[in-house]
Amino acid sequence: MKRIPSILLALLLPAGAIAAGANYNIDSFHSFPNFSVSHLGMSTIHGRFEHMTGKIVFDSAAKTGSMEIHVPTATVSTGDAKRADGARSRDEHLRSADFFNAAEFPEMVFKSTKLNFAGDKLESVEGNLTLIGVTKPVKLNVTSFVCGPNPFSKKPMCGANLEGSLKRTDFGMKFGVPAISDEVKLVVGVEAYQE
Q: Residue numbers of the site for another protein (CB under 8 A)?
A: 41, 86-89, 92-93, 95-98, 101, 103-106, 132-134, 172, 174-175, 177-179
The least CB distance from residue 91 to another protein, in Å, is 9
The least CB distance from residue 8 to another protein, in Å, is 54
The least CB distance from residue 186 to another protein, in Å, is 20
3-state SS class at 40: coil
Distance in angstroms (rounded) separating the CA atoms of residues 22 and 60: 9
**Amino acid at the residue 164:** G
Cβ proximity to another protein, 34 vs 89, nearer residue: 89
Neighbours of 119 (CB within 10 A): 7
Cβ proximity to another protein, 144 vs 169, nearer residue: 169
Distance in angstroms (rounded) separating the CA atoms of residues 145 and 26: 14
Distance in angstroms (rounded) separating the CA atoms of residues 115 and 160: 13
Cβ proximity to another protein, 58 vs 100, nearer residue: 100
Cβ proximity to another protein, 145 vs 175, nearer residue: 175
CA-wise closest residue to 129 among 121, 137, 141: 137
